[in-house]
Chain A
Amino acid sequence: MSGVRVLVGTKKGAFVLTAEGKRDKWKVEGPLFGGWEIYHLKGSPVDPSRLYASQTSGWFGQVVQRSDDGGKSWEAVGNQFTYDGVPGTHQWYDGTQHPWEFKRVWHLEPSLTDPDTVYAGVEDAALFRSTDGGRTWQELAGLRGHETGALWAPGAGGMGLHTILLDPVHPSRIFIAISAAGVFRSDDAGATWKPMNQGLRSEFIPDPTAEVGHCVHRIALHPSRPETLFMQKHWDVMRSDDAGASWREVSGNLPSDFGFPIDVHAHEPETIYVVPITSDSLHYPPEGKLRVYRSKTGGNEWEALTRGLPQSDCYVNVLRDAMAVDALDSCGIYFGTTGGQVYASADAGDHWSAIVRDLPAVLSVEVQTLP
Chain B
Amino acid sequence: MSAAPQRIRVALPAHLRTLASVGGEVEVEVEGAVTQRSVLDALEADYPVLRGTIRDHVSFRRRAFLRFFACQQDLSLDSPDAPLPAAVAAGTEPLLIVGAIAGG
Contact = CB atoms under 8 A, between A and B. Distances in A.
A80 B52 contact: yes
B42 interface: no
Given A36-B15, A59-B99, A60-B15, A82 B58 contact: yes
A76 B66 contact: no
A58 B13 CA distance: 14
Interface in A85-132: none
Interface residues of A, number: 14
A57 interface: yes
Nearest to B20: A76
Interface string B1-39: 000000000000111101100000000000000000000
Interface in B49-64: 49, 51-54, 57-58, 63
A61 B19 contact: no
Interface residues of B, number: 20
B103 A58 contact: yes
A62 interface: yes
Interface SS of B by simple majority: loop
Interface in A23-61: 34-36, 57-61
A58 B51 contact: no
Contacts of B63: 59-61
Nearest to A83: B58
Contacts of A61: 52-53, 63
A60 B53 contact: yes
Contacts of A36: 15
Contacts of B100: 59
A279 interface: no
A63 interface: yes
Contacts of B57: 79-80, 82
Given A58-B65, A60-B63, 10 more contacts: A59-B13, A59-B63, A60-B13, A60-B66, A63-B49, A76-B49, A79-B51, A79-B52, A80-B52, A82-B57
Interface of B: 13-16, 18-19, 49, 51-54, 57-58, 63, 65-66, 99-100, 102-103
Top 3 A-B pairs, shortest CB-CB distance:
A60-B53, A59-B65, A76-B49
